[in-house]
Each structure stands twice: as C-alpha cells, then as structure tokens.
C-alpha cells in the first residue's frame, strides 16, 4: 500500500502537470500517438510468433501461460494524458489482463477474439521522459500485437438520456432518490460504506451518505441452520431514518443456495452456501423444470427476501437494490452455469418482486466485475444503474475500469463503484474524470479498516465527496414524476379476464419496432417468450399463455428503450 504522504506528494505533482497541460482544453503536448510493436520488447517466458495472420509489424508476442511470464516495453513520451490501446488476440475466450505503466498498475478483461482486436486500457498521466509498460500473464493464453498511446483529454460524464426508472409504478420517494442521483452525476461522488458506517463516523466525524448492508442471513437455508442477522432490516431502517431521515440504503443479497448445500469442512460449510464450491445446486436445471421442487424453493427464497424489502417499502424508504452480484466471475452459484441462466434468474427476480409482490421502492443495480461483458447484462428494461466491483491496488486510478463502463453504458445508465477494496482518491476522480455515482468500500479489517486514518479523513471531508450531513431532502421529486420507461406504443388485452390459452393483444404505434413478449404465472415461472415486429401501425397478436390453468398471469412487453407490464386473469 502506498503511504498517504507519498500518495499526496505524487498527486501534488500530478495536479501541477494537469494545470500546465490544460487538459480540459487541449490533447496534451504530444502531437502524435506513440505506437510500440510488442515484438520489440523485452520477453520473459514469452516468445515472438507470426503464425496467425492480421498482426502489425513483424509479429506478435504469445505464450503467456506461466505466472512469471511478462512483456516489457520501454520508450520515451512527452508529458501528457494518454489513452492506452492494446492490440491483442484472445482465441480461448474472455481473459483477464494485468499491466503496469511506470508505477501505476491496472487491468481489465479482453473480449474473446480469434482475430487481432483492440482493448481500451484507460487513461494514464505521463510526466515526460522514459516510460516502462509491462504486460503480465493475468489469466494468460492471449497474444499481444502492439500498444498505442494517444494524447487525450478528460470530460465529465453526462446523465443518461432516458432519465426514468424501469419500474413504471416506482413510488415518488424512489423517483426522488433516482433524480437526486442523476442531479449529482458528473459533479459530485456520493460516499457509501459497506456495513462499517459507524467506523467511518468514528474516524472522520463524517457519516457515509449511503449505508450498504446485506440480507445474507435472511436466506432460508441460513435461517434453517440458526443464522441470525448481524444487522436486521429494522436496524438498517433505523439508520436510514435517524435524524433528518435522509440516509440512503443500499442492499445486497449473498443468496445462500436454496438447497443442496455440501456442508463439509473446511471450506464447504452451510454458511458458505452462496459460493459455487459449497453447493451442488444447479440453476440451469432448476430453471428448466419450473414445476419441480427446486424451482419452488427458488421462489420460496425470493418470497422470503420480499418480506424484508416490504418493510422498507412500508416505511417509505427506497433501496438501491443490487442482488446477484459478480455473476460473471462464476464464484457464486447464480453465475456458475453461465450467462443465460443468470439472465433468466435476474428477470425472474425482477418480475417476482416488482409485479407479483408489488415492490415499487427498488432501484435495480446490476453489479459485475467488468463492464463490457454484455453476455451477462440482464437488459436495459431490468437495470437502472450499473455498478462495478473492483479490488485494485491502493494507488490505482481505476481509469481503465471507468472508461470500459462509459464505452458500454454511456448515455444509458449511471455507473457506480458498488464495491472496492480501497477508497477512491478524490484527486484521481477529478484528474481522470472518474465521476462514479457513488462508492462503497468493502467491510472489515482487510478493507475499510485498513485504510490510513488521514486518507479516510481526506476522502470524507473532500468538497467533491457528499456525506450524509450534506444530503439535500431528496425524498420529494424535483421534476414531474418520470415513473418508468413510458412507451411510445401501447398494448392492451382484447378481453380481460380471458377464457382461452391464447391472449389477443392489440398493439398500436410499434410499427418496425422489435417487441420482446414474456409471460409469467403467479409463481414467477417463465411460460412463454416471443419476439414480434409489427409491420403496420395497428396489429392484433395472439400470444399463447403457455398454460391452461386459471389464475393471474403477467405479460411483460419490452422494446429497445421502453417496457410495460400487463396483468391478466384466466378464468
């Protein structure tokens, strides 16, 4: 960990360079990009190859398969802010890459590509003179063609063009919170903390604006084994409502598997049942059998968490709701079977909580470990905010992660630092324009309690970091209610209740738009999924329910930018 004194000394120099370069007005002092071919570097355990066509120069570097393998490139560069591009090939799927420019470490994820492609590595400030860029093994099994450093500037992010929540029935206080998040985006960063909110207050005299807590111990298989919440829902509510009642709540859920816990020492005990290694619960098989007992247990668990979330709704407290986090890593069971089952589970959870349990106090936060892996993204109609969980070195600027998120979601969703291993540095936020909507450092002795006291005070007293005492009354919407993605088209049921297993939908104003139609029963089971593209301004479409049983059904209609939900009764 870089000492606080050393860190601030570096940033004084950093700010001096920023001012001398006037980065907001011109692209540094270098006129041309700096390109270095990989084969010209110093090779450690790797080799130059030319077997695969499409590379630049005389070859590319391959053989990143041992922990000590590395490629070092040495060159000189004028002082300035640069955008890093790495030419690469990743024929064996998505791969993590780690690299270092001078003393600054960074990393990211390489998209699968059997041909040579470009990876955007983020922004880096160079002081002028010799530069050392090292690419480490990371996950390995990729090829490196070249690196490119292009003079660049920084700019503040802009709020999403569609400033509406996905839930068309979101409560006014929930809309008020979302509008507050939008109003601060790109101007201030909202402070948060996972669990240890009291510790931050003790050390800094300031309280995080966002208290982030976990519903882990409300998972039925933990309750069955005698678990008791360290901080109950009632205690979370008390924290939010104390004083002026402006504290913001974020809730996650380390979902202990509904069944099939291994429960064997040392690392597969019942309380670790959210980890893939501690359960044999098969999500894909469960979703494929909606009439089966494991599917019923899946719904039981969701319903148990719904009862906790209803306490917040009854108290008129909105929730930054971030379930099913870090799925693409595979270390949690909800991501162990791949992207398709995960997306199905997310949409099932969304529909069960929103449309079945009528929870309208949730702002849905999708959190991953990388931004550009869209295979795992549940879809715009099911996500309000995108969060990144980043555990990088203490002095990392996080520019690489931020730039990847902006490239994927700019203009669509707010981007937050939903989990981190270290406090983000305000000077880095300003210098690299990494204006996260909010941040939350992970709990415990290895994370928030390991941060130097002077750094804690510096971050939580910074003018660009909002703490609880600086929050306005966000509970009342400042604009007319923008409740939901209000469609330009309309869909209605021709006759409700319906007696047939086919439902006639009258669709108007959707000519040429792709509509995704899904049907769920009252248990949250996905019964039907259809894609419709109307060719005329008005059509009637016969949608099969997928069931002959009488009861309540939910029809979700989603276009590229809007969504709507219909409730029907089958007699």
**490 is written with which tokens?**
């309309």
Question: Quick count: other Cβ atoms within 10 Å of Cβ 267?
Answer: 10
Which of 271, 382, 263, 381 shows the shortest CA–CA distance to 324? 382
Residue 537 contacts residue 489 (beta carbons within 8 Å): no
419 is catalytic: yes
DSSP H/E element including 318: none
Q: Is the peptide bond before 366 cis (omega within 30 degrees of 0)?
A: no
**CA 273 and chain centroid, separation:** 23
DSSP H/E element including 17: helix 4-21
Q: Which residues contact 259 (CB under 8 A, 6 or more apart)?
A: 221, 281, 294, 297
**129 is written with which tokens?**
């003179």
Residue 201 contacts residue 407 (beta carbons within 8 Å): no
In sign, the C-alpha dihedral spanning 403, 407, 411, 412 is negative
Q: Which of 104, 419, 470, 529 is catalytic?
A: 419
Q: Which residues contact 137 (CB under 8 A, 6 or more apart)?
A: 64, 65, 66, 67, 68, 69, 70, 98
Q: Which of 37, 39, 104, 326 is catalytic?
A: 326
207 is catalytic: no
Query: What single-letter DSSP state applies at residue 445?
Result: T
**79 is written with which tokens?**
């002082």
Residues recognised as catalytic: 326, 419
């Amino acid at each position: 960990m870089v000492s606080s004194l050393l860190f601030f000394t570096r940033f004084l120099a950093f700010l001096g360079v920023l001012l001398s370069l006037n980065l907001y007005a011109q692209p540094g002092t270098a006129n041309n990009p700096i390109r270095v071919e990989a084969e010209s570097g110093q090779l450690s355990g790797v080799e130059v190859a030319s077997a695969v066509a499409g590379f630049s120069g005389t070859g590319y570097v391959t053989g990143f398969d041992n922990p000590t393998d590395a490629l070092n490139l040495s060159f000189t560069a004028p002082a300035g802010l640069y955008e890093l591009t790495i030419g690469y090939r990743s024929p064996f799927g998505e791969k993590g890459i780690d690299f270092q420019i001078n003393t600054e470490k960074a990393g990211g994820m390489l998209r699968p590509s059997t041909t040579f492609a470009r990876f955007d590595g983020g922004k880096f400030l160079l002081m002028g003179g010799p530069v050392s860029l090292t690419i480490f093994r990371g996950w390995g099994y990729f090829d490196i063609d070249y690196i490119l450093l292009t003079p660049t500037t920084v700019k503040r992010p802009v709020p999403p063009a569609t400033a509406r929540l996905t839930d068309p029935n979101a409560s006014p206080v929930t809309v008020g919170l979302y509008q507050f998040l939008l109003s601060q985006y790109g101007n201030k960063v909202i402070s948060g903390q996972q669990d240890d909110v009291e510790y931050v207050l003790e050390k800094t005299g300031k309280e995080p604006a966002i208290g982030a807590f976990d519903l882990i111990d409300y998972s039925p298989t933990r309750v069955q084994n005698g678990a008791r919440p360290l901080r109950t829902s009632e205690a979370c509510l008390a924290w939010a409502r104390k004083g002026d009642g402006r504290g913001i709540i974020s809730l996650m859920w380390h979902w202990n598997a509904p069944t099939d816990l291994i429960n064997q020492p040392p690392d597969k005990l019942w309380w670790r049942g959210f980890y893939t290694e501690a359960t044999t619960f098969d999500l894909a098989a469960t979703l494929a059998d909606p009439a089966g007992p494991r599917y019923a247990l899946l719904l039981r668990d969701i319903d148990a968490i719904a009862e906790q979330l209803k306490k917040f709704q009854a108290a008129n407290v909105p929730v930054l709701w971030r379930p099913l986090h870090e799925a693409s890593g595979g270390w949690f069971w909800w991501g162990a079977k791949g992207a398709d089952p995960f997306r199905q589970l997310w949409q099932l959870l969304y529909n069960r909580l929103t449309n079945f349990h009528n929870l309208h106090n949730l702002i849905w936060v999708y959190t991953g470990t990388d931004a550009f892996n869209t295979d795992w993204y549940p879809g715009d109609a099911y996500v309000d905010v995108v969060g990144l969980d980043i555990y990088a070195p203490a002095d990392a600027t996080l520019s690489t992660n931020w730039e990847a998120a902006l490239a994927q979601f700019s203009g669509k969703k707010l981007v937050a630092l939903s989990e981190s291993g270290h406090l983000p540095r305000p000077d880095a936020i300003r210098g690299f324009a990494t204006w996260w909507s909010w941040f939350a450092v992970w709990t415990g002795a290895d994370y928030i309690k390991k941060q130097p006291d002077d750094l804690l005070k510096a971050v939580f007293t910074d003018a660009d970091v909002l703490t609880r005492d600086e929050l306005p009354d966000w509970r009342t919407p400042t604009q007319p209610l923008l409740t939901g993605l209000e469609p330009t088209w309309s869909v209605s049921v021709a006759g409700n209740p319906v007696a047939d297993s086919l439902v006639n939908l009258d669709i108007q104003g959707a000519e040429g738009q792709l509509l995704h139609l899904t049907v769920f029963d009252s248990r949250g089971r996905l019964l039907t999924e259809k894609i419709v593209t109307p060719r005329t301004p008005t059509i009637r479409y016969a949608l099969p329910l997928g069931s002959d049983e009488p009861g309540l059904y939910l029809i979700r209609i989603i276009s590229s930018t809007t969504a709507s939900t219909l409730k029907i009764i089958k007699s």
